[in-house]
Every structure is written in structure tokens, then in C-alpha cells.
Amino acid sequence: MFSRFTNIINALQALDKMYTNSEMVRKILRCLPRTWMPKVTAIEEAKNLNVLALEDLLGSLMTHELSMQKKDDDEEKEKKKKKIVALKSPQTKDSKDDDDDDEELAFITWRFKKFLASKRKFGG
């Protein structure tokens, strides 16, 4: 971002448009995304933007970016470290329950077939 900003500023200087150091600092702080707003607020509160050098601002922002990346990397590593534990269910089957389920299914199937037969019988 800083190299693009510098290229734009240099092109504007070639067109005789000059910016002061404080104007450039304020422009950079304004163009940062919302996730950087706490850092922007901290810089605005802690430092005098009229005398803050552009290089100092860049150093502060780069340090913050590195710490954010490190935090994201650490969080990603923590997610990978967490193991999901799945418990195995016992494979024992109760034959009585299976027989009951089979009987219910057979009864429902028989009733449904009987229903369809009665529909055909009455022309429905």
C-alpha cells in the first residue's frame, strides 16, 4: 500500500500538487480498512499528527500488521491442534428390538397394500 501511495504522491508532485507530511499521514490513516480503526485511533490519540513522520507511521503500521498476522497464525495452529474425539457406539444389537421393527414395517406395508387395493377396487 505504501509503495502505491508513494507512486501516486510522486506523480502528483510531477503535476505540481504538493502535500505536507501531516496531510499524507492523515490520508494514509483515512484509507485504512475498518479492522484497523483501533490502531488508527490509538495513533491519533498518542501522537501529534502534525509532526509525525511518514516513515514512523509506516513502521508503526507494519509492526501492527505483523502482530495481527502472528495472532492469526497462532489461532490457526490452535485450531489444527484441537482433536475431535468421537466415541464408538457398541455394536451389540438386541434381536428383540430388530424383530419388533421388522414386524411394524411388515404391518405398515401390509396396510398400505390393502389401502391401494381398495382404491383400485372402487375405481379411485
Radius of gyration of the CA atoms of the chain, in A: 36
Q: How confident is the model at residue 124 (pLDDT cuts 50, 70, 90)?
A: low
Q: What is the rounded average pLDDT for all residues in the chain? A: 84
- In angstroms, the first-to-last Cα distance of the chain is 75
Of 33, 35, 40, nearest in space to 57 by CA: 40
Q: Are 12 and 19 in contact (CB under 8 A)?
A: yes
What is the pLDDT at residue 83? Answer: 63
CA–CA dist 69, 67 (Å, integer): 5
For the beta carbon of residue 36, count every other beta carbon within 10 angstroms. Answer: 16
C-alpha cell, 86: 468421537
Domain boundaries, the chain: 1-74
What is the pLDDT at residue 66? Answer: 93
82-96 residue pLDDT tens: 766 666 666 665 556
- The cell 516513515 sits on which residue? 55
45-94 residue pLDDT tens: 998 888 889 889 999 999 999 998 999 888 888 877 776 666 666 666 55
C-alpha cell, 11: 506523480
